[in-house]
Amino acid sequence: MVEEELIIGRNLKKFFPIKTGLTSRSNIYVKAVNDVDIVIKKGEVVGLVGETGCGKSTLGRLLIRLIEPSGGELYFSPPPEVLNKIKSNQKLSDEELKNYSIFHMHKNKLREMRKKFNIVFQDPYSSLDPRMLIKDIVAEPLFSFGWKKKDAYARVQELLEKVGLPAEFMYRFPHELSGGQRQRVAIARALSLSPEFIVLDEPTSALDVSVQAQVLNLLEDLRKEFNLTMLFITHHILVVRHISDRIMVMYLGKIVESAMKDEIFKDPKHPYTQALLSSVPIPDPRVKIERIILEGDVPSPINPPNGCFFHPRCRHAFEPCGFTTDELIEPLRFVLDNKRNPEMGNAEIQEMNVIDDLNMEVTFNNPVQQGVVESIIQKEKEQTRALYGIKEISVNGNLLKIKMHEPVDPKLKDIGNEHLVACHLVNPPEIK
């Protein structure tokens, strides 16, 4: 039973500045990781899934401080008394921060810590230096920690054996190996310093399906043998179905759901997870999933939507989910069109004026009836979810004024059984 927390991330952020002009300064950012709380327990394999561009690799790199954070805190293996403080949001002493916070550690201590985590990248073709022999590629981390050549090469031989490669591969160059063999070399190198935590960033997606299965089996064996803790990143949820203990689902820089594997496959709560799962064939006749088409693209992480980031694509979005007036323009033009809706009589839309995110005005050529508009909105909102965002309307002659509900950010909430969900459906807020 895994219980001890190995990695704890709080409010993790990584914002990449975007250059927009000739000046080097920028105030536009890609919010690749946007306020993530994460806990990974010792010995656990966590599958991190989500569509392309949702921030999986950035989060993985942040967790081993391969990139510098824009905010938040990251702790590695804190002892119980420090853990209690972290959990109860107490301030840590400078000493505690220096010892257990990856972002505050002195560089000498951080260098020592680097032995404890490593990463395997997606592309085994570009991640291995083509000019180096395999023995030196695998030994490189050992040399950087002062290992003598003789000991390092003996260790390389042992590691190659562990990943199922013959010792003579030590004297080959990467181009003399197949994709699967190269990925085994990358895994051997990642294991060289006996790490406790490994990030695997799409380690099998560049490989043929049959080779994928072999590499997954190898990882499974290594995980048991070395009691490794792993974060396995993939955009294909089925890849991690077997190997993971727990699955985390990421959308636009945030974790939206996290649960033990069986629970998430049987009872996904977040509409995004439901859509992801419905798009893959689950080879289990007991699991019946309705096919849900994920419409539209992932919005830009530069300017994410208000409220719940998923609301523009969510088929359950409702009042607090974050609709803004700009999302209402097209739906209103459609539902209040008098050619489509005879109830609108001879009132045609003349002008739509967005005042701010929550207020707008629509001017008609003829007077409209408040009751008629209200009944159309009521009738159409199941189909046109943005209409749920309307809080109140008032009509004065030709002028329709619209006020929207205030957006509420869904927070990750534990609904029991270590199942965390960030969705207003499971944790309904007060509607403002």
Ligand X SMILES: Nc1ncnc2c1ncn2[C@@H]1O[C@H](COP(=O)(O)OP(=O)(O)OP(=O)(O)O)[C@@H](O)[C@H]1O
DSSP for 21-48, written as a single string: SSSS----EEEEEEEEEEEEETT-EEEE
Least Å distance between CB 415 and Mg ion? 28
Query: C-alpha 62: how far from its chain's center?
Result: 12
Is 15 an interacting residue with respect to ligand SF4 (CB under 6 A)?
A: no
Distance CA 229, CA 162 (A): 17
Which one of 57, 77, 181, 229 is in contact with Mg ion (CB under 5 A)? 57
Contact 390, 373 (CB under 8 A): no
x/- map, 244-283, ligand X, by CB under 6 A: ----------------------------------------
Quick one: 160 or 298, whose CB is closer to ligand X?
298
In this chain, which stretch among 38-46, 128-136, 147-155, 307-315 interacts with ligand SF4, using CB under 6 A? 307-315
Please report which helix (H) or strand (E) contains residue 197, including its range: strand 197-201
In this chain, which stretch among 51-59, 325-333, 352-360, 387-395 interacts with ligand X, using CB under 6 A? 51-59
In this chain, which stretch among 34-42, 172-180, 316-324, 397-405 interacts with ligand SF4, using CB under 6 A? 316-324
Which one of 78, 124, 304, 410 is in contact with ligand SF4 (CB under 6 A)? 410
Least Å distance between CB 65 and ligand X? 15
Which one of 124, 195, 203, 301 is in contact with ligand X (CB under 6 A)? 301
Query: C-alpha 191: how far from its chain's center?
Result: 25
Which one of 34, 58, 229, 324 is in contact with ligand X (CB under 6 A)? 58
Quick one: 57 or 273, whose CB is closer to Mg ion?
57
What are the φ/ψ torsions at residue 416 (nearest 5 degrees)?
105, 155
Q: Strand runs (DSSP E) across 252-386, as ranges?
A: 254-260, 349-356, 359-364
Least Å distance between CB 201 and Mg ion? 6
Is 331 an interacting residue with respect to ligand X (CB under 6 A)?
A: no
Distance CA 239, CA 243 (A): 8
Q: Out of Mg ion, ligand SF4, ligand X, none, which partner does residue 316 contact, by CB within 5 to 8 A per kind?
A: ligand SF4
Quick one: 179 or 345, whose CB is closer to ligand X?
179
Name residues contacting ligand SF4, limited to 245-304 (CB under 6 A): 270-271
What are the φ/ψ torsions at residue 214 (nearest 5 degrees)?
-65, -45
What are the φ/ψ torsions at residue 392 (nearest 5 degrees)?
-150, 155
Is 27 an interacting residue with respect to ligand X (CB under 6 A)?
A: no
In this chain, which stretch among 56-64, 93-101, 136-144, 314-322 interacts with ligand X, using CB under 6 A? 56-64
Least Å distance between CB 389 and ligand SF4? 11
Is 199 an interacting residue with respect to ligand SF4 (CB under 6 A)?
A: no
Contact 9, 73 (CB under 8 A): yes
Residue type, 278: S
375, HSE (Cβ side, Cα atoms, 13 Å)? 9
Contact 245, 45 (CB under 8 A): yes
Least Å distance between CB 244 and Mg ion? 17
Is 311 an interacting residue with respect to ligand SF4 (CB under 6 A)?
A: yes
Count the Cβ atoms, other than its own, within 10 Å of residue 259: 25
Structure token digits, residue 117: 């985590």
Which one of 2, 16, 35, 318 is in contact with ligand X (CB under 6 A)? 16
Structure token digits, residue 319: 């009042």
Is 360 an interacting residue with respect to ligand X (CB under 6 A)?
A: no
Which residue's C-beta sits nearest to Mg ion?
Answer: 57
Structure token digits, residue 395: 């009509």
DSSP for 210-253, written as a single string: HHHHHHHHHHHHHHHHHT-EEEEEES-GGGGTTT-SEEEEEETT
Is 127 an interacting residue with respect to Mg ion (CB under 5 A)?
A: no
Binding site for ligand SF4 (CB under 6 A): 270-271, 308, 310-311, 314, 316-317, 321, 410, 423-425
